[in-house]
Amino acid sequence: MSSVLKEVPPNGTEREIDGKPCVFYDGYWIRSYHLNKDSFADKKVMIDMLTRRVFHHVEPGINTPSNRLDQVRAIYEAEDNPARKRVKGAMLAGSLLNRGRHILTVIVELEEAGVKIESSNELLRECGRCFMEALDLGKNIKLGDGGEGIDELWGEPFKVFTMPIEEFFKTRYIKIAQAMSEIDQVTDASRRVICEFKKFDNIKVKLSELSETTKQACETIRNDPVIFDVWPRYIAAKENYEDCMLELAVKKSDTGYPLSLDAYRLIKEGGELLVKLATLRVPIPNSVKDFTQRCNDFVAKED
């Protein structure tokens, strides 16, 4: 299990814990991965995976095919309305990301055919320019739910292109440690609210299970075979939490209403934040800070 240590080792310390290869970052043991290869083929696999991930989370309609790049660029440059220009900028960013990814596919195919691609190759330079411009236009993109976290997600394909894969994973470990810290903050804040009402005692165990499986979901990459154990555990904990919340739904006839209703809403929101952290696997500090403050204010009011 990921856990905070009393004696803090240096970041980057590696150790096997309960049969799991781990690396230590910022107070947490995180499942580690060793990818010794760093070829264009390896980068392509990573970028394809990260691209699918980011398009899954962002607003709909921006996964623009790369063969429409010139068309969407002209439309973007001709737009004067700020709101529409933002969306068209997001669509252009999507097309550029796809163009860079497809160029990298061609480079991999050429290398597999025995053609040596040097770093000065114009095709490779054009690939880099596409990723760079897509990164710059990422400011136009919103997550599907309108929340924070897009900067972290959208920048990852560019990082894989420009960094050795091992170095990229070090940046991921730092983000995962930050996300795990936020999971603990949300869990602790939710628990303080739960403890104010006897009615919500049954949710305590469900919250602990959801919190721990959320950390495991954060640290596990999707092409790791262990995901077939980790992800079902997380989904089962999520569904158990949601089912328990339905059973604990507050009624107007309940003692302590409407304060218990406010508590219920906070506890429900805490679970939703944990779910978001599990799926995004990047920190969302503003959302967590706001939630924690509202929980603290509620508990202080109760005291």
pLDDT tens digits, 81-137: 999 999 999 999 999 999 999 999 999 999 889 888 888 889 999 999 999 999 999
The ranges assigned to domains in the chain are 40-162, 178-302
Q: Amino acid letter at 257?
A: Y
CA distance readout (Å), 246 to 47, 238, 239, 274: 40, 13, 11, 17
What is the mean predicted confidence (pLDDT) over 253-270?
84
Q: Which residues pair with 25 in a beta bridge?
A: 28
CA distance readout (Å), 215 to 124, 177, 243: 37, 9, 21
| Statement: residue 303 has pLDDT above 80 | no
Q: What is the DSSP letter of 201?
A: T
Report whether 288 contacts 186 (CB < 8 A).
yes
Q: How far apart are CA 173 and CA 223, in angstroms?
A: 17
Q: Amino acid letter at 82?
A: P
For residue range 194-242, what is the model confidence (pLDDT) as tens digits? 998 888 999 999 999 999 999 999 999 988 999 999 999 999 999 999 9
- Helix (H) or strand (E) segment spanning residue 256: none
Residue of 76, 301, 262, 281 lying closest to 178 (CA atoms): 281
pLDDT range class, residue 252, cuts 50, 70, 90: low
pLDDT range class, residue 254, cuts 50, 70, 90: low
Contacts 24+ apart (CB under 8 A), 151-155: 152/280, 152/282, 152/283, 153/53, 153/54, 153/57, 153/58, 153/280, 153/282, 154/54, 154/58, 154/93
Q: Which residues pair with 17 in a beta bridge?
A: 20
Report whether 175 contacts 269 (CB < 8 A).
no
**Tokens read off for 43:** 């980068």
Question: CB neighbours (10 Å) of residue 78?
Answer: 9
Q: Amino acid letter at 244?
A: C
What is the mean predicted confidence (pLDDT) over 22-32?
95
| Statement: residue 4 has pLDDT above 80 | no
